[in-house]
Amino acid sequence: MEDLFCATFIFQKGEFTDEFHRFDKVIADYAKQTKGYLGEESYENNENSQVINLYYWKGLDGLKDLMEHEIHLKAKKQEAKWLRGYQVTISKIVAAYNDRQIPHPLKSTLLKPDFLPIFQKRTE
């Protein structure tokens, strides 16, 4: 099975302009068409205006393609106009399991955590 990856984008909201929303839509639409794209989820803390977006891919090809997209590169050069700071983390997923009761991009994915035997009993 091809490796799974999660790109986490955490940012502090600034002032979102029309240009930001146009760029955001183009980038989001393009991401969904990239190779191996599995889905995304987003969380917002209204108390501190911090947003966490998690994007999931099978393999790295689609993620690399998105990072090199023309609009993404333009937006990245202007991020200080819209954001008050950000953190990006790219992680390889070594385990994914669930009870299939909540919607999630990895809902149909089961990577048994062989290195955690106590959890393996719960997923079988």
21: amino acid identity, one letter: H
Other beta carbons within 10 angstroms of residue 124's beta carbon come to 7
Q: How far apart are CA 6 and CA 63, in angstroms?
A: 9
Contact 102, 28 (CB under 8 A): no
List, for residues 47-104, the tens digit of each pLDDT value. Answer: 999 999 999 999 999 999 999 999 999 999 999 999 999 999 999 998 887 777 888 8
Neighbours of 4 (CB within 10 A): 21
Q: Mean of the pLDDT values across residues 19-36?
A: 96
Residue 110 is predicted with a pLDDT of 67
pLDDT score of 38: 95
Output the pLDDT for position 93.
Answer: 92
Question: Which pLDDT does position 116 carry in this prediction?
Answer: 62
pTM: 0.84
